[in-house]
């Protein structure tokens, strides 16, 4: 029999709305603008862009173009994060985890954030359009921005399918890196997209489960908000993690990866699956946090294995 443990909701009164106000004199304004860019997420985005580029054939690798792609993507991703917070400023004010962001806390004004976000996005796209050899990478960067800000963000208030929709822009950065080097959409790039896309579902469902009460207060339609006992959330986590294991082995078939990578990816996948299985048995915040931690180990490890494969083939074979 499945054991179901549900954390008891804690009553919470959201803070009173804060009017737009100049930045606090106590906290340097540049730190607030930096916070708008979500630096930790940005670093993960740049990591996957670099992996996508480094996994191309050695003849296609152009370090100058990679640097241009990283700079342009960093600007666009930072601007997209700022615009996402501008669009969600009211719901952010209702959630504990986001109420102290610069906009809901009143340290920056709506106009400042809006101008800042669009300046970064337009500047990043213009930069890439000027310096990138392959325009396809610029188009994919633009598509990533548009789908994240104008499709995924509004859908968070309308349907639980927003997680799947949001996984599309989340999985495009390695494709940006690949196309920046090759100018083409090849099978290995699509495999990278699939790995990152599928990985995001259990990753974000774990986050949504831990913060489901916050999301409910803000009116955001995450699956854990409507899934009282956690059974649907656990089922989705399990299905996507099970699917992730064979998908992670596709580089052996289509990307030239060896069985060394295959066994490594299989082992890491089982490790990730184990954490999800324990969430199935007991859908608690503590178990969701373990799924989150396992997911944060899984993706960099699989991508690092792929990169090691490439290094071995180029320099040692």
pLDDT level of residue 10 (50, 70, 90 thresholds) = very low
pLDDT tens column, 261-286: 999 999 999 999 999 999 999 999 99
pLDDT tens column, 130-142: 999 999 999 999 9
Contact in structure between 276 and 198 (CB atoms under 8 Å): no
> Is the model's pLDDT at 39 over the cut of 90?
yes
pLDDT level of residue 312 (50, 70, 90 thresholds) = confident
What integer pLDDT is reported at residue 2 of this predicted model? 40
Contact in structure between 252 and 258 (CB atoms under 8 Å): yes
Number of Cβ atoms within 10 Å of the Cβ of 43: 12
Tell me the pTM: 0.89
What integer pLDDT is reported at residue 258 of this predicted model? 86
Domain boundaries, the chain: 25-184, 186-317
Please check whether the domain covering 186-317 is classified as CATH 3.40.50. no
d(CA 248, CA 270): 12
pLDDT level of residue 44 (50, 70, 90 thresholds) = very high
pLDDT tens column, 216-234: 999 999 999 999 899 999 9
CATH of segment(s) 25-184 = 1.10.357.140
Q: Which two tokens stand for residue 158?
A: 């309308």
HSE (CB half, 13 Å, CA atoms) of 32? 23
pLDDT tens column, 70-92: 999 999 999 999 999 999 999 99
d(CA 242, CA 311): 29
d(CA 163, CA 291): 16
């Amino acid at each position: 029999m499945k054991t179901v443990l549900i954390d008891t909701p804690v009553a919470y009164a959201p803070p009173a709305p804060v009017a737009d106000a100049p930045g606090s004199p106590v906290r340097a304004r540049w730190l607030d603008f930096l916070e708008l860019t979500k630096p930790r997420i940005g670093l993960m985005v740049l990591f996957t862009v670099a992996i996508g580029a480094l996994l191309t054939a050695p003849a296609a690798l152009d370090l100058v173009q990679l640097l241009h792609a990283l700079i342009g993507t960093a600007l666009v991703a930072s601007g997209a994060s700022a615009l996402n917070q501008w669009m969600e400023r009211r719901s952010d004010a209702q959630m504990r985890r986001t109420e102290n962001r610069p906009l809901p806390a009143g340290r920056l004004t709506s106009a400042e954030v809006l101008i800042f976000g669009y300046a970064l996005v337009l500047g990043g796209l213009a930069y890439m359009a000027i310096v990138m050899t392959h325009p396809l990478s610029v188009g994919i960067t633009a598509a990533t921005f548009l789908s994240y800000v104008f499709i995924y963000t509004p859908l968070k208030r309308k349907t639980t399918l927003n997680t799947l929709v949001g996984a599309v822009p989340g999985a495009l950065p390695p494709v940006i890196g690949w196309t920046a080097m090759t100018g083409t959409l090849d099978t290995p790039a699509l495999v990278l997209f699939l790995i990152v896309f599928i990985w995001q579902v259990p990753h974000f469902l774990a986050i949504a489960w831990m913060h489901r009460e916050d999301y409910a207060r803000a009116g955001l339609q995450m699956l854990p908000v409507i899934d009282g006992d956690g059974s649907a959330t656990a089922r989705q986590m399990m299905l996507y993690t099970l699917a992730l294991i064979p998908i992670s082995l596709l580089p052996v078939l289509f990307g030239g990866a060896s069985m060394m990578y295959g066994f490594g990816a299989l082992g890491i996948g089982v490790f990730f699956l184990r954490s999800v299985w324990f969430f199935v048995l007991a859908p608690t915040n503590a178990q969701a946090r373990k799924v989150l931690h396992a997911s944060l180990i899984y993706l960099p490890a699989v991508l690092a294995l792929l990169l090691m494969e490439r290094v071995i083939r180029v320099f040692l074979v």
